[in-house]
Structure 1
C-alpha cells in the first residue's frame, strides 16, 4: 500500500501539503482532495478559483466544481453556481446522491442552501479591479476579453488503495454568463478509477472537451501505459488533431497518478506547473516545458517560487 497526491499549478502546494498529512495518517482520498481544493478556493489571491476568482462579462463570479469517487465511480458536480463558498464541498456532497448529481445555476444554489452550505459574496475588490481594467483594455485596444485560465485539479490515492479526484474553477475570465468548460464534466476535466488511476485537466476548456482527455489518460494507464506515457500521448494526440483540423490548439495540461502512486504530467504550453507528494517523494513543485511532443519538468527553483507569489499578491491599481 502507498499514498500519493498530485495537483495542477503551484497554487495547489499548501493544500497538498495539508492533504498529505491526512494521507500519512490513514485519512481517505476523498477528504484529501476536498481539503486541498478548499485551501485554494479560500485564498483570495488566486484569481481563477473560488473566492477572488475573476468574473464573467457581467461582473458575476460563477463557479464550477466536480468530485469523483474512484471506488464507486460516483460523481458530483456544480456549474455556474454563485455566492456559495467552497463549491468542491457541494460537489462532494452531490456525489453521494443517486440521482441529480450534477446541478447548475439556480438549482445548484437551491441544493447548497437546503444542505446548509455557507453563502458568501465571492467577488473581491481585487477581482473588481482586474475586471474594470480588462473592460478598459478591450475597449481601448480592441483586445479579446478572454485570457488563459487555471483550474485547480487534484488526484489522490490513500493507504486503503482508494482514489478520488476533484476540480474547482471560476472559469474563463470575462466568459458569457452560463458558460461551462471542461472542469465539471466527467471524462473531460476529471476521471478516476481506483483499479487503474486518475487524471485531471486544466487549460482552455473548449478544446479540452474535444478529447475527453482525463478519461483517455485513465484508459491508456489501464492498457499498460505509465502515467507519464499516458499523459503525453493523450495531450499531444489531441493537440495535433486540433492543429491539423482547426489550425490551432488552446492550452491543454494534465496531471495523473496510477493506483501504485506513480505520477505523470503533460502540457502543450510553456510554464505549466504542478505539485506532487507521495510516500517516496516529499512535497515538490515542478515547472514544465515542451520538446518534440514530450513534456519535460524540473523542480521549481526558490526564485521561481518567490516570483510566483509576488506576481499574484502584487498591489493592483485601476488603469
Structure 2
C-alpha cells in the first residue's frame, strides 16, 4: 500500500484538510467583564512555543516540550503530549475514563495537522485509548483525512493498536446516576473541561496542531463534535498561524471557528483579537438559540511570529503555555461575560 505522499503524487491531487464544552465556571454573579485587547499583544513573539487548553495541558506540554528538545517533529510532540490526558482516567473528558454517551459507550474524536497542511482525523472511535495516534496514522498511511466508527476501529487494529474497555468504574457510576433522570443538559462546572487542543510552533518556525476528546457526556450515540473536523476544532496555515477550539462543538462547527480565527490573523489581527471576533460572532448567532443558557466556547491561537492568545465567551477558560523564557504555566483567557 502506497503511503500518503506516494498516493498524492500519483493521483496529482492535494489534500487540505475540539466535545461539547460543558464549560468551566467560577459561579460568579457579577456583571459581565470585558477586557480591552491592546493593539500590540503584550506577549513577545517566541519559538519554540506550546499552548494547550485547560489545566490538563500542563502535563501534556511537559511531554511535548521534551519531545521537541529531543529533535522530534511538531506532530510527534503533539502526539506525545496529548497522549498524557488521553491515558489519565482522572481527566473525564478525554480518552480513557471519559464520560460515555447515553448508551454507556465511550466514543472518541481526534485530529492532527502539520505545517504542510497534511492532516488526519478519527471520529466516533470506540475501544482505542489513544485516538490522536490513530489520527496520526491516518495522516501518514492513508490518502484520506478522516476515518469514522467501525472503519476507524478496523484501521486502528490493522496498525497494531490494542482494543480495550475505556469505561472506568467512576465514569460508569456517574452514567448510571444520570440514567435516573436521563435529561440531556450540559453540566457546568470547573472540573468538566472537555477537549484538549494543542498548538506547537517549533524552532524552525513550523506550526502543528492537534485535538482529542471523548466529547459530550450523555450525548446521542453517534454524535461527533468539532474536535476531529479540520476547519472547526483545528486549523492552521503555516504562513499565518494556527487556532484550535474548545467548547460547544455544534456552535464551533456552525461558524467554522478555527479556520475563521486563522483568516482574521491573515488579515492582520493578533491572535487574541482574532479569537475575540469569532467568539463574538458565535455569540451573535446563538444569543437567542436554545443552546445559549449553557453555551461556552473558547479559542487559542498562535501566529507565525510566536505571538499567542486566547478568548472565551464566558469566564473560566484558561490554557497552558510553555516557552523557554517563562517555562510552563497557566494563563487565563479574556472573556466576553461572566456566567449568570
TM-score range, shorter chain: 0.7 to 0.9
Match of residue 217 from structure 1: 261
Match of residue 74 from structure 1: 118
Pairwise CA distance, 1:118: 2.2
Which residue of 176, 184, 191 corresponds with 1:144? 184
Match of residue 306 from structure 1: none
Match of residue 86 from structure 2: 41
The answer on whether the counterparts of 1:145 and 1:173 sit within 8 Å (CA) in structure 2 is: no
Q: Does 1:125 align with 2:169?
A: yes
- Gaps of at least 5 residues in structure 1 are 294-319
Which residue of 292, 304, 329 corresponds with 1:248? 292
Match of residue 299 from structure 1: none
Pairwise CA distance, 1:36: 1.2
Residues 188-220 of structure 1, C-alpha deviation per residue, up to 9 Å, x if partnerless?
A: 000112211111101111111111110011111
- Structure 1 window deviating more from structure 2 (124-133 vs 281-290): it is 281-290
Match of residue 40 from structure 2: none
Match of residue 13 from structure 1: 58
Pairwise CA distance, 1:266: 0.7
Match of residue 144 from structure 2: 100
Which residue of 159, 167, 170 corresponds with 2:214? 170
In 2, the alpha carbon distance for the partners of 1:248 and 1:150 equals 18
In 2, the alpha carbon distance for the partners of 1:98 and 1:203 equals 29
Pairwise CA distance, 1:86: 0.4
Q: Does 1:275 align with 2:315?
A: no
In 2, the alpha carbon distance for the partners of 1:269 and 1:291 equals 6
Number of residue pairs matched? Answer: 288
Structure 2 residue matching 1:206: 3-state secondary structure: helix
In 1, the alpha carbon distance for the partners of 2:316 and 2:285 equals 22
In 2, the alpha carbon distance for the partners of 1:220 and 1:145 equals 33
> Which has the higher relative contact order, 1 or 2, with Cα contacts under 8 A spaced 6 or more apart?
2
Q: What TM-score, normalized to structure 1?
A: 0.85
Match of residue 188 from structure 1: 232
The answer on whether the counterparts of 2:313 and 2:337 sit within 8 Å (CA) in structure 1 is: no
In 1, the alpha carbon distance for the partners of 2:271 and 2:185 equals 35
Runs of 4+ with deviation above 6 angstroms: none
Q: Could you say if the C-alpha distance between residues 160 and 288 of structure 1 is closer, same or farther in structure 2, counting changes exceeding 3 Å? A: closer
Structure that is richer in helix per residue: 1
Pairwise CA distance, 1:164: 0.8
Q: Does 1:207 align with 2:270?
A: no
Pairwise CA distance, 1:25: 4.3
In 2, the alpha carbon distance for the partners of 1:260 and 1:118 equals 40
The answer on whether the counterparts of 1:197 and 1:218 sit within 8 Å (CA) in structure 2 is: yes
- Structure 1 window deviating more from structure 2 (174-183 vs 276-285): it is 276-285
In 2, the alpha carbon distance for the partners of 1:85 and 1:52 equals 9
In 2, the alpha carbon distance for the partners of 1:78 and 1:226 equals 31
